[in-house]
Amino acid sequence: MNTHTLDLDSAVIATRAEVAELHAELVRYGLVAWTGGNISGRVPGHELMVIKPSGVSYDNLTPENMILCTLDGVVVAGTLGSENSPSSDTAAHAYVYRNMPEVGGVVHTHSTYAVAWAARGEPIPCVITAMADEFGGDVPIGPFAIIGDDSIGKGIVETLTGHRSRAVLMQNHGPFTIGRDASDAVKAAVMLEDVARTVHVARSGGELVSIPQDRIDSLFHRYQHVYGQH
Ligand SMILES: O=C(CO)[C@@H](O)[C@@H](O)COP(=O)(O)O
């Protein structure tokens, strides 16, 4: 077996394990109900992605039943899990990977507060430092788009290209998040729901107080480049 094949096989195995394991985080943080939501990961160094099977209980997701697809969203025949149908959002995830080469992971959830902002068609205003840290500003609204073709993917790419936010609220539907890898995209989904809830509660109590842009900029820089362990 040549080294390229070994590299491919090991990259696929690692991505399957990562994506399967991360789905449990959506349940742990209460971001999905039933089989709603999905996570995918780009297979590093290859024009491939791994995504969950459609409509399968989170309790039954394993590395082996994750589905390997091309970046056109086509299932790679004869591979583990290929007997099942991939997520109904596969086209959206694939469109993001084709058009945003820096993205290594995509997540979709139906988390309550984020979906509530999406139902109002309102961007979440950056009025707490946690939003400045994680999203560098407001969390934007994406267009209303029907599942089944590239519409959702196009809406995600048009909204997030050149935008600091790793999260977009697709109007009347819910959040999609992106990241350098699947884990980073899951973090964005978790933090999104936290800020969506906090700002919703804040606004229900009265007027929101904005943060000066230069403060948002410095908070974002610190969090992205200084915070944590290096
Ligand atoms: O919201 C949608 C589609 O956008 C849901 O169907 C989705 O969360 C779950 O679908 P899958 O189980 O990934 O096919």
pTM for the model stands at 0.96
> Looking at the domain 3-225, which fold is it?
L-fuculose-1-phosphate Aldolase (3.40.225)
Q: What share of the chain is helix, strand, coil (3-state, %, to 5)?
A: 45, 15, 40
Query: Quick one: pLDDT band at residue 3, thresholds 50, 70, 90?
Result: low
Check residue 72 and give left, alpha or beta (phi > 0: left; psi -120 to 50: alpha): alpha
Q: Whose CA is nearest to atom 13 of ligand 1?
A: 87
- In 3-state terms, what secondary structure has residue 162? coil
Q: Is the pLDDT of residue 200 over 80?
A: yes
- Select from 60, 69, 108, 170 the residue to mutate for testing ligand 1; criterion: most ligand atoms less than 8 Å from CB: 108
Dist. CA 149–CA 77, nearest whole Å: 21
Which ranges of the chain does DSSP label H, i.e. alpha helix?
A: 3-28, 90-99, 112-120, 129-135, 151-160, 182-204, 213-225
Q: Which residues line ligand 1 (CB under 6 A)?
A: 35-38, 52, 54-55, 87-89, 108, 110, 147
Tell me, in angstroms, the distance from the centre of ligand 1 to residue 128's CA: 30
Give residue-wise pLDDT tens across range 7-30.
Answer: 999 999 999 999 999 999 999 999
Q: Is the pLDDT of residue 1 over 60?
A: no
Is 110 a known active-site residue?
A: yes
Give residue-wise pLDDT tens across range 98-139.
Answer: 999 999 999 999 999 999 999 999 999 999 999 999 999 999
Catalytic member of 95, 97, 113, 133: 133
What number of other Cβ atoms are within 10 A of residue 170's Cβ?
23
Give residue limits of the domains in the chain: 3-225
Confidence at residue 230, expressed as pLDDT on a 0 to 100 scale: 80
